[in-house]
A and B are shown apart, each in its own frame.
Chain A
Amino acid sequence: EAGVVQSPRYKIIEKKQPVAFWCNPISGHNTLYWYLQNLGQGPELLIRYENEEAVDDSQLPKDRFSAERLKGVDSTLKIQPAELGDSAVYLCASSLQQGNYNEQFFGPGTRLTVL
């Protein structure tokens, strides 16, 4: 069974440019998460989806970040415009329907460098 797929794996852009990341979760997983991980730190939640509904986006900087999960499967995270401080690894994870006991399965991440 395929795991969580993310693309691209690496992205280098200049500041003020837009960038988008794509995630395909494990088949059958209703819950999808986007995390930001800075170097030497733990992942921080940006947004959580239950099917196509964003149920927790309280930590998403909505002035420049946006996300969508059309049809409740694939998801895209966008930054427009990117800033130097956005350089980080963006992780996507999925799990069975939200519940305390369901672990998250993580993709390999997209490493973003903003110059």
Chain B
Amino acid sequence: AQSVTQLDSHVSVSEGTPVLLRCNYSSSYSPSLFWYVQHPNKGLQLLLKYTSAATLVKGINGFEAEFKKSETSFHLTKPSAHMSDAAEYFCVVKGYQKVTFGTGTKLQVIP
């Protein structure tokens, strides 16, 4: 069985403050984990991926995520939010021949 839970449907932060988007997963296999971003009326874009090489993964636009096996978590963070970060973010788990998307977290950045 495989599932992914994004714990917050909406997150609101002020510009320049840290961002934390939470993701928990379950998988019967050693999964790969991904974060994608979707801006309005745009396609999904890969932010970063975990493939077991390193538990702290750095992605594009200053985002990073830490894989914590003991907590089955893969939370996405950024030290300082920018207005252009406002979008929807999806956590994805990929196990043996199966891909599962979370329900998404909408990030609002307040000027």
Distance from B69 Cβ to chain A, minimum over Cβ atoms (Å): 15
Say yes or no: B43 contacts A109, CB within 8 Å: yes
Q: How many B residues touch A, CB cutoff 8 Å?
A: 25
Judged by a CB distance under 8 angstroms, whether A14 is at the interface is no
- Residues facing B in A95-110 (CB within 8 A) are 98, 100-101, 103-109
**Chain A contact residues (Cβ within 8 angstroms of B): what range?**
20 to 34
Say yes or no: A103 contacts B34, CB within 8 Å: yes
A91 and B102 alpha carbons, distance in the complex (Å):
16
Say yes or no: B44 contacts A91, CB within 8 Å: yes
A45 neighbours in B (Cβ, 8 Å): 99
Among residues of A, the one whose C-beta sits closest to the C-beta of B102 is A42
Among residues of A, the one whose C-beta sits closest to the C-beta of B51 is A101
Distance from B7 Cβ to chain A, minimum over Cβ atoms (Å): 14
Say yes or no: B103 contacts A41, CB within 8 Å: yes
Say yes or no: B44 contacts A106, CB within 8 Å: yes
Judged by a CB distance under 8 angstroms, whether A56 is at the interface is yes
Mark each residue of chain A from 71 to 115: 1 if its CB lies under 8 Å from any CB of chain B, else 0. Answer: 000000000000000000001010000101101111111000000
Say yes or no: B32 contacts A42, CB within 8 Å: no
- Residues facing A in B14-58 (CB within 8 A) are 29-32, 34, 36, 41-46, 49, 51
Judged by a CB distance under 8 angstroms, whether A40 is at the interface is yes
Distance from A108 Cβ to chain B, minimum over Cβ atoms (Å): 4
Among residues of B, the one whose C-beta sits closest to the C-beta of A43 is B101
Judged by a CB distance under 8 angstroms, whether B97 is at the interface is yes
Apart from A105-B46, A106-B36, A106-B44: 17 A-B pairs, beta carbons within 8 A: A4-B43, A33-B99, A41-B103, A41-B104, A42-B90, A42-B103, A42-B104, A44-B101, A56-B97, A91-B43, A100-B94, A100-B95, A100-B96, A103-B34, A104-B46, A104-B99, A108-B41
B-side residues, CB < 8 A to A, are 29-32, 34, 36, 41-46, 49, 51, 90, 94-99, 101-104
